[in-house]
Structure 1
Amino acid sequence: MARRTLLIGTTVAASAALFVFTPGAASAAPHQPSVTVLTNDVSAPFQLDYRGGLYVADGGTGAVSKLDGGALSPVAHAPDGFETSGVAVGPDGGIAYTTANEDHSSTSLTIERNGRTTIADLSRFEAKKNPDQHVTYGVDHPSRCVKRAFAPLGGATMKGAVDSHPYAVDSLGHGDWAVADAGGNDVVRVDGGTGKVSLIAVLPRQPLKVTAQQAADLGLTKCVVGVTYNFEAVPTDVELGPDGLLYVTTLPGGPEGPVLGARGSVYTVNPSTGRVHRLATGFLGATNLTVDSHGKVYVAELFAGQISTISHGVAKPYVALRNALAVQMGGGKLYASTIAPTDEMGNPTGEPGSIVRIGS
């Protein structure tokens, strides 16, 4: 039950190690729309955005590209030694993308508009403010036995550490941007003109009551059974909905995959007040989402191998998509991406990632 999720790897090799066991859909979708592959020329397409065309941030290559027909046209590229996982295009045509180096000591949001480049230093903001520094993760009031059990995993309790890994971005309009920082467990606002970074909200702890089976699977002693462990939120995507709220996916820290169950959630965040509300939970690897013009939410579930929707606070399968990584509505069409899979040792299988169109 490590504090930090492995998904937030800094290279495709580190990230892909998490995807070795990605199955097909966990449950059959009641309706199976068609899936059309648009390109296989991607490795780890963590985020898509649509504005007059489909944009993709590929964490495997560090490239930000636009899909023209079946070909990817380069738009920007992360510096050597850096990855990019988030991209968004604003209503004024400005483009923003995230960058992070291997140890997350240098992370930023780069904004390019009308020939001008503004760089917001997200790692500096995290080091200076560390918004979740007063949040206690792990077990509240652990017993001696619980402390011993979790000691090899970093301890039974810990405060929010300084860690920045910007994972997704979206335009707030008026030149501002919202960034989901998976390392910082928060969503921040970036002024596109000045690069100033400010906090919108820290995402809440993700509690899990440990079962006997989970304890056994993780090799933990019996005294942890029934204990509530509060994981970090690890926000992986942010999108501005038609209602003016931000929609955020979380991939709780710790062992990912099925071992601890479907723990992913979708939250709404008021960008003006910072108020956070959980919209739905029960996602198996909620890595990305999109909201259509009617407010319908689609969620990419990596470990379930599917795109799901939210209906009355409940996750419902929509379409099976092995290795589903990102999803985006644009131009009246639904797009998604998949990550190139690896074997049990984390080695590439030779199968590429993809960008697909769902439905006609």
Structure 2
Amino acid sequence: MSNRPFRRLRRPAAVVAAVSALALSVSTLSASSAAAPAQPTVIDKGLVSPLSVAVNDDNVVYYSANFAGQLYRKAPGKPAKVVYQSKGGKEVGAISTVGKTVYFVSGFNLMKLAKGKVTKVAALGAYEKENNPDAEVSYGLVDPAAECLEAWPTGDEAPPAQYTGIVEAHPYGTAVVNGTVYVADAAANAILAVKGGKITTAAVLPAVPVEITEELATQYGIPEVCIGETYNFEGVPTDVEAGPEGMLYVSGLPGGEIPGKGYVATVDPESGETTELASGLVAAAGLAVLPNGTVYVSQLFAGEITKIAPNGSRSTFAGAPLPSAVEVKGKKLYATINVLAGLEPGQKPGGKVVSYLR
């Protein structure tokens, strides 16, 4: 297994080869051992990496085939159709809706689909190059012993010993709140705010400290002398949603494939203050938030969608293979599942968009 996921999950395709074994190894870390009664209704299937879904007030479902660069529209009682196809292999995802308008990301640009026309809203990649919001955040080993630092592996496949935020963008989720589009950028480790085409940084996700255990050292080729040291992971926000009391809710996937490091946090969009709401999740890839603060969050490598009550108690809402995006509309929860299936050469795409009754 590559050491790169020790740093972060930069692109979901980077871990396809490890998904099956990893899902089995972390299944015991899910929120509840009891199987949930929720059963899905399939909306579409045979999709290439459907990592995002959104539903408007007319129950029209929009979803992505990220690595195929496609945005789909599925109206009730009508067949699905592709309403946008990117050029040059650009990834498409990070969908949200407001009224009949759809916001999404194509490559490193925020786009808008309105009245059948797609326009560019903001250049997110250019903003990252010019501003690099996490440039002053320290990642990697925290005050390591000299012996550990000296023995730390080098090379392209080795996790960096110590570094600060680099220039890199991967816009992964969006939410529209009072005319502002908030963007969770998983590589920039930031929540961006876009209004009137202008981009600002709403929050920089803090580093996530993790103790290097014997198991991690063995799995990622870390020297034994470094066991017990602390390694700061990048925050890697994967989704953002509007929550009660003006807060934003964010899911995060620090450590990539490492089990139990995912989280849900609240972000104050005015101050940028981040407060952890739930931790110990296995690759938190997407979330939905109810007005009372109830959270539904997907655990990509644990194979479940977890319900977190306002008091913090957790239960398994549904078991699902490789779930990613989740969205609540009325009495239904929409989700994308099996999102990394069928990406190897010769395999048929296996991604699905489904809905559950809550």
For the aligned pair, the TM-score class normalised by the smaller chain equals 0.7 to 0.9
1:187–1:199 Cα contact (<8 Å) kept: yes
1:252 maps to which residue? 254
1:84 positional shift: 0.9
TM-score, normalization: structure 1?
0.87
| CA spacing shift, 1:286–1:245, aligned 2, 3 Å | same
1:117 positional shift: 2.4
| CA spacing shift, 1:73–1:342, aligned 2, 3 Å | closer
Aligned counterpart in structure 2 of residue 83 of structure 1, from 84, 87, 91: 91
| CA spacing shift, 1:164–1:346, aligned 2, 3 Å | same
The amino acid of 2:324's aligned partner reads L
| CA spacing shift, 1:135–1:7, aligned 2, 3 Å | closer
* Distance in 2 of aligned mates of 1:353 and 1:125: 32
* Distance in 1 of aligned mates of 2:34 and 2:356: 14
Aligned counterpart in structure 2 of residue 181 of structure 1, from 161, 177, 185: 185
1:310 positional shift: 1.3
Q: Report 1:1-360 matches (<5 A).
A: 2=4, 4-9=7-12, 13-14=13-14, 16-17=16-17, 19-21=19-21, 23=23, 26=28, 28-51=33-56, 52=58, 53-68=60-75, 69=77, 71-91=79-99, 93-100=100-107, 107-113=108-114, 117-147=119-149, 148-152=151-155, 153-174=158-179, 176-191=180-195, 193=196, 195-253=197-255, 255-256=256-257, 260-311=258-309, 312-342=311-341, 346-347=344-345, 349-350=347-348, 352-359=350-357
* Distance in 2 of aligned mates of 1:338 and 1:18: 17
What's the RMSD between the two structures over aligned residues?
A: 2.4
Q: Report the count of equivalent residues.
A: 342
1:20–1:346 Cα contact (<8 Å) kept: no
1:39–1:70 Cα contact (<8 Å) kept: no
| CA spacing shift, 1:315–1:221, aligned 2, 3 Å | farther
1:17 positional shift: 4.2
1:22–1:305 Cα contact (<8 Å) kept: no
Describe the SS at the equivalent of 1:189: strand
Deviations 1:157-191 (A, max 9, x none): 001000011011111122x2000001100000011
2:111–2:118 Cα contact (<8 Å) kept: no
1:103 maps to which residue? none
1:104 maps to which residue? none
* Distance in 2 of aligned mates of 1:244 and 1:236: 20
Describe the SS at the equivalent of 1:46: coil
* Distance in 2 of aligned mates of 1:71 and 1:324: 23
Deviations 1:174-232 (A, max 9, x none): 2x2000001100000011x3x21100000111111111222122222211111010000
Q: Sequence identity, in percent?
A: 31
| CA spacing shift, 1:229–1:70, aligned 2, 3 Å | farther
Moved over 6 A (4+): none
1:23 positional shift: 3.4
1:306 positional shift: 0.5
The amino acid of 1:74's aligned partner reads V
* Distance in 2 of aligned mates of 1:352 and 1:38: 13
* Distance in 2 of aligned mates of 1:276 and 1:266: 10
| CA spacing shift, 1:290–1:46, aligned 2, 3 Å | same
Deviations 1:50-81 (A, max 9, x none): 11222112203211112224732223222232
1:233–1:252 Cα contact (<8 Å) kept: yes
1:282–1:315 Cα contact (<8 Å) kept: no
* Distance in 2 of aligned mates of 1:226 and 1:321: 35
Describe the SS at the equivalent of 2:166: coil
* Distance in 1 of aligned mates of 2:18 and 2:269: 31
Describe the SS at the equivalent of 1:324: coil
1:209–1:226 Cα contact (<8 Å) kept: yes
1:20–1:342 Cα contact (<8 Å) kept: no
1:269 positional shift: 0.8
Q: Name structure 1 gaps, 5 residues minimum.
A: 101-106
Between 16-25 and 164-173, the greater mean CA deviation after superposition:
16-25
1:109 positional shift: 0.6
Deviations 1:130-163 (A, max 9, x none): 1110111011222333223243425310010000
Deviations 1:237-273 (A, max 9, x none): 11112432111110004x51xxx33110001111122
